[in-house]
Amino acid sequence: MEWKNGSTYAAAANVAGTIASHFLRHQDEARARQEDDGLASVPSARRIEQIIDVAFWASLRKEEGLPTRISIAYLQPSEAGKPMLFEHRLPYSPKVLAKLAPGVERAGVHVGIWEDDGELYVWGTTLTLPKYCFVLDVSEPGLLVVKHRRAAGLGKFINVAVLQGDSVKVVNEQCGIKTDCPSMLTSLLGIHASPLWNHPVNVLIQIAVSMRAHGRGGTLLVTPHQHEKWKESIVQPLTYPVSPAFSGVADLIRQDGEASSEIYWQNALRREVAYVTGLTAVDGATIINDRHELLAFGAKITRAGTSRPIEEVLLSEPVTDRQPLLMHPSRLGGTRHLSAAQFVFDQHDAQALVASQDGYFTVFSWSPESQIVMAHRIDVLLI
């Protein structure tokens, strides 16, 4: 039986109004900044509920034994730049989405939907989206992510909400306003984000996404390039030191960032990022400096001789109604999280990125204001 009227996925109804308010607020702010050229149409809360409901049931279907993965965008063909139009409209239903998914699951391809006479329909596909276009990604069975394109059009999409079964997480953008919030987090939240494809922070986000994607878990330490004090917190000798430092990613960062249309350089950067992040799957930590030069991998973290064992971290997650929690770092996960927290506790000017095999992703940084190691759980922004 196909969906007709009324949603049967309760989470869709619970979150639809909040999501609609998010998109309307961002559009109002863009108009206030006189940046209203090329703004996308905003679906009503009722339409958002319908879009999510159908996508959820589609996510539970399989085609030739493979799960449905698809990106759905709410826009008219005229808003899509150069769309691929189907000769005949298709009904927006779980069956249709599951059938289309194998042909449109590549990154950057979106299935366009619109409405007529109160009914949603599929009109074709597009590679181009307007500003703040409502996008729903079906990432895996039961896992849906509401997101939108950045206003500048480059970089990872900004996540608005994550729905997984009966769990709903709505992103709290306000947490990025705090002064002790790392630049990586503020960029993911759309605050102080650079439009340059090779900006160091945007590259670090690409690295985080790639680390999470390989599914093996791993630790990446980001150290200052000015000194080697970080070696005090690493077991010597290094298992896999790199000499001279490998600069594959760093060289591409030095390219002219304004040349954002140069797809060759962007693809080259993705290859170099995958090259480096593959090493994070090796047991031990991968170490780069803040210039993105690779220094070592497979490194074992130890407590610095002049330090003491870390006793607590402040865990935060950019999710509405989620308050920061003080806890012992061992409660965050296994030895990987504990050692990363200890490293940042010893090396205040460094960061540690930790990917868990179960998909969680945590950024450890030192807060000068609170004088404590902050554990920012950001997987809700990376999906």
Q: What is the dihedral of CA 235, 240, 243, 247, to 10 degrees?
A: -110
Contact 130, 38 (CB under 8 A): yes
| Dist CA 68 CA 81 (whole Å) | 26
Helices 45-59, 10-32: crossing angle, 10 deg rounding: 130
- Each residue's pLDDT tens digit, 167-207: 999 999 888 667 678 899 988 888 777 777 788 998 999 99
Encoding tokens for residue 291?
């210039």
User: What is the number of other CB atoms lying within 10 angstroms of the CB of residue 340?
Assistant: 29
- Report phi then psi at 190, rounded to 5: 85, 10
Q: Which regions in the chain score pLDDT beneath 50?
A: 1-3, 260
Provide the 8-state DSSP code for 7.
Answer: -
- Each residue's pLDDT tens digit, 202-236: 899 999 999 999 999 999 999 999 999 999 999 99
DSSP-derived pairing of the beta strands 372-377 and 361-367? antiparallel
Amino acid 192: pLDDT: 75
Contact 178, 40 (CB under 8 A): no
Alpha helices in 278-349 (DSSP H): 335-346
Per DSSP, the three-state class of 290 is coil
Half-sphere exposure of 128 (CA within 13 A, CB side): 10
Query: Partners of 365 in the beta sheet?
Result: 374
Amino acid 154: pLDDT: 60
Cα 160 vs. chain centroid, distance in angstroms? 11
